[in-house]
Amino acid sequence: MESAKEMTRESLPIKCLEAVILGIYLTNGQPSVERFPISFKSHFSGNNFHHVVLGIYFNGRYGSLGMSRRSELMDKPLIYRTLSDLIFEFEESYKKYLHSVKKVKIGLYVPHEPHSFQPIEWKQLVLNVSKMMRSEIRKELEKYARDMRMKILKPASAHSPVKQRSRGKSLSPRRRQASPQRRACRRDKSPAVLDKKVGDLSTLNEVGYQLRI
């Protein structure tokens, strides 16, 4: 949350991981909105690309918040009846840019308590979608979504003490030591050709406002 506050103060260019943290921050005051990370690994022209968005569940519908230089790979409206419908929509969006999705990782609901030190569970469910039938993917996703709604699933660290994290550091497993300023300078791994920097937070703020009303 300290990282999110720093983003709003500095208004520096951010990328997909920072957008997820910011989306969590902007929706913390809306307990009826459940948030969970969705990560994608795609392949294009001999290279692998990684991207993450914040999945949203509200009033029986799924959607997403995020940031990408491709509009189809970030925000999705709250219109999808099932989690699998949302994931398949992302898969179709990737195909528009000639990317094939290899893996999808779904995390757990993020607590609304802003002072919680519980780490974000980024990959509770990992699907190697390139080697699965669509019916198998749908079955796995719907079972997982049902368990999440019933709050059956627990973080892997739920039964072990959690160390207090330093304030202001990223919650990402891969980028834990990087500050927001340094992260903004790293190469964007989302599947895009044009480099478009975002200097303000209007998009995510608009979405947060729409969710509140």
Active site includes 166? no
| Per-residue model confidence as pLDDT tens digits over 6-65 | 888 888 788 899 999 999 999 998 999 999 999 999 999 999 999 999 999 999 999 999
| pLDDT 10s digits, 147-202 | 998 877 776 554 433 444 444 443 344 444 444 444 444 444 555 443 443 444 44
Taking a C-beta distance cutoff of 8 angstroms, is the pair 54, 18 a contact?
A: no
Q: Active site residue: 3, 39, 51, 84, which one?
A: 51
Catalytic-role residue among 3, 16, 84, 170: 16
Q: Is 16 annotated in the active site?
A: yes
54 close to 36: Cβ distance less than 8 angstroms? yes
Q: How many angstroms separate the CA atoms of 72 and 198, rounded?
A: 16
Catalytic residue among 68, 84, 93, 190: 68
d(CA 196, CA 70): 10
Whether 185 is catalytic is: no
